[in-house]
Chains A and B, each alone.
Chain A
């Protein structure tokens, strides 16, 4: 993984010292809140319902054991013994004192981490496929390019005060695991006919109040043009993006209002000026960054396959875990493992300090010191020998980290919702817990198959409800919570925005409503391998609407 150079160390240390001074002056009353608020937000410190919240960046979701241990240490020393992994592959702490935040940032800097640009109208943490560098189906590891984008975008003077926040995602595979079509810029690393690397470039996707899918504006951008083309996009957005209305300020609205052809023309015109300038990426620079992400030397471990068959036969639970949570690796003796942060009845994305410590220990023992956080709020070990799967599972299981549900109905994305968030209108976590409990049986989950439920506690859609196969949006109506159901959303290479199915459901009825949707699917699917999303696309909303509201209902 990337290691800080002298410049990075000096920059982050200087930033911590600067923030320490700002916090001291704020606490002494020298700086008023109006002046301090943008300063704390630039360093990831929000104010939520109960306390401050600190959001720490995990660049493209990649970290090592030492860094994970530091996240555990911070949870233990400065917070309440846990953290929440987010859909931007970051971690949030819910209870830090403002007065402790400089010390927290100092501790983070000691392991090459920070909280810069985890808030504000700037380019946020660049996200990537959580199986990057390991997946059998990728053209190349997208993380070197995510790192190049990180370096370019960090305190970029031109792009620190954009009309609104700006999110970039990068994937290296045709099968999109990074939700690139619902990002401001989505990049798909690919090879052309000559075997050269470049990117399909998507622009103007996003969720929130106005969910829109990105438009592809380049099918193949040579890798050397990554920064010049991205600069052209963000420059056009910075110039023309709407600053008069916060709700219309994202680039998706600019794309929508300008039209993709005209906006592409403007971007290409800007790109002409930048193309062969200082932003052109020299091969040696790409190679130097790529070297940081060289996969570990993976010794041959062919014994794994014979052992695996025997272990699976002996333990049904292990067999299920392998079936769901183990993903093919480039090296046939290895696999990528999803460590579920969705225990049945638990809180999506939360991990205790002791769980984080255990993950760090196991990463060193079994995973070549490499850890990833997925945008689906799970932990990934990208490189695990097949021969080590069973002992890894045995170590995860007692700590509540061995749930075999990756991609299944209980692998729910949920934002913190009204239990924590100052923006939320309704709770997300209790809804997720009740759904998880209702559908928790292994047999039932296996019968249902791949089904992604995503829950947001407000229209800002941090819980990605618009792209859930089943999405739940919590709203406040007449002072009470109500949950609107959307169906048919998806965030992969066939992305779609879910459709609102009808009137919302009260908290005590929403689990039954989801169960009705699921039972309807099971009754009408053509065969067991037809996934929920496939069935929905085949039949549309009406059968689900009939089941929920009665046969006379009209599609929403």
Chain B
């Protein structure tokens, strides 16, 4: 089944975040609240609009995910990379093997 989570970037540092069940923004997708029906999605959207208006976050979006047991996995590659970080190493670690995404 395809569900939705709410994601954004934090205002102060721009880091990608997801909304959790406590209504807080977390840097871990795996802690995100998964909306499994339309009402929950609407609720997430409302919180997103509120926190955008309150200047906590920006670029707020509902994104599609699927669940594999306990693991939340975004449908789109873009969102998987947002959640896990660049698939390549960087800086002193630039030669690290590419991570599957």
Contact = CB atoms under 8 A, between A and B. Distances in A.
A58 to B, nearest CB: 20
Contacts of B43: none
B82 A51 contact: no
B90 A47 contact: no
Contact of A80 (B55, B87, B90): B90
A32 B57 CA distance: 11
A51 B90 CA distance: 15
A334 interface: no
Contacts, number: 93
A242 B13 CA distance: 35
A193 to B, nearest CB: 51
A50 B101 CA distance: 15
A419 B82 CA distance: 8
Interface in A426-446: 427, 429-430, 433-434
A33 B48 CA distance: 14
Interface string A13-44: 00000000000001101001100000000000
Interface in B51-99: 52-55, 58-59, 75-78, 81-82, 85-88, 90-92, 94-95, 98
B86 A352 contact: no
B12 A419 contact: no
B15 A51 contact: yes
A418 B95 CA distance: 18
A427 B87 contact: yes
Contact of A50 (B12, B85, B94): B85
Contacts of A393: none
Contact of A81 (B54, B91, B101): B91
A552 B9 CA distance: 50
Contacts of B59: 47
Interface in B7-45: 9, 11-16
A41 B81 CA distance: 24
B58 A47 contact: yes
B75 A50 contact: no
Interface string A508-521: 00000000000000
A354 to B, nearest CB: 8
B35 to A, nearest CB: 21
Interface residues of A, number: 38
Nearest to B86: A419
A345 interface: yes
A33 B77 contact: no
Contacts of A48: 14
A344 to B, nearest CB: 9
Interface string A31-75: 011000000000000011111100000000000000000000000
Interface stretch (A167-175, A319-327, A474-482): A474-482
Contacts of B78: 49, 418, 424-425
A50 B86 contact: yes
Contact of A32 (B55, B76, B85, B88): B55
A97 B88 CA distance: 21
Contact of B75 (A81, A98, A479): A479
A346 B94 contact: yes
A110 interface: no
Nearest to B101: A427
Contact of B13 (A26, A29, A51, A420): A51
5 nearest A-B pairs in the assembled complex, by CB-CB distance: A52-B14, A419-B86, A82-B91, A97-B13, A51-B14
Interface of A: 26-27, 29, 32-33, 47-52, 80-82, 94, 96-99, 345-347, 350, 352, 418-420, 424-425, 427, 429-430, 433-434, 476, 479-481
Given A50-B82, A94-B90, A427-B87, 12 more contacts: A27-B12, A50-B14, A51-B13, A51-B14, A80-B91, A97-B14, A98-B12, A350-B90, A352-B94, A433-B88, A480-B77, A481-B77
